[in-house]
Amino acid sequence: MPLHPADLMTLETYSRERPAFRERVIAHKRLRKVAVGPNLTWLFEDRLTVQYQVQEMLRTERIFESEGIADELGAYNPLIPDGTNFKVTLLIEFADPAERAVALRSLKGVEARCYAEVAGATRVYAIADEDLERENAEKTSAVHFLRFEFDAASLAAARGGAALTFGADHPAYTFATTVAEPTRAALAADFGA
């Protein structure tokens, strides 16, 4: 369900409520952050994570006019899952800048080789970067936006408690992670009841 202006706090209210809201979102995100190997972090977006991003953008940019608010909602609402998918911000992380530069060249195309798998169902590969191209002829970007679309059988299995595995099968990066129950349950909630 997309966010609407009425779902947002005014700048004044957000300034007052921000510490408590931020703590709530940080706790919420703990179950929505998955490491796939040592260098890929998947941040599973949902309505609350997107609301936080919008509130922070409005605060930082001091946006209070309806047109500016509508622009921010238009930019961020596509990151909210709609009941049949996961929406993920993919971060490629290397602490050393020189190592990161080399890795981004060798990991070109990794975003299209990321997958989600509900136990017993067919592996689903990411639809990557629908908003704009995030790589060039030489390297990939350190941030990508992924969408994973599931069929009815996968959705039912996930709702029923089937294990969730996330991975990458790129020639330069092959890792997979099956998430623990608290994270599995939090993510499966994106599929509704």
- 67-122 pLDDT, tens per residue? 999 999 999 999 999 999 999 999 999 999 999 999 999 999 999 999 999 998 99
Give how many domains the chain has, as a whole number: 2
CB 111 within 8 A of CB 134: yes
pLDDT at 134: 57
Q: Are residues 178 and 93 in the same domain?
A: yes
Q: Are residues 136 and 61 in the same domain?
A: no
Nearest 10 degrees: Cα torsion 181, 123, 125, 112: 100
pTM, 2 dp: 0.91
Q: Are residues 64 and 130 in the same domain?
A: no
Q: Give pLDDT tens digits for 152-167.
A: 999 999 999 999 999 9
Identify the residue whose tokens are 């050393």: 96
Q: Are residues 67 and 90 in the same domain?
A: no
pLDDT at 133: 59
- Domain assignment of residue 10, given as a range: 1-30+47-80
In the DSSP assignment, the letter for residue 180 is P
Q: Are residues 70 and 107 in the same domain?
A: no
Q: Are residues 73 and 141 in the same domain?
A: no
Cα–Cα dist 175/113, whole Å: 11
Q: Are residues 190 and 108 in the same domain?
A: yes
In the DSSP assignment, the letter for residue 140 is B
Q: Are residues 135 and 187 in the same domain?
A: yes
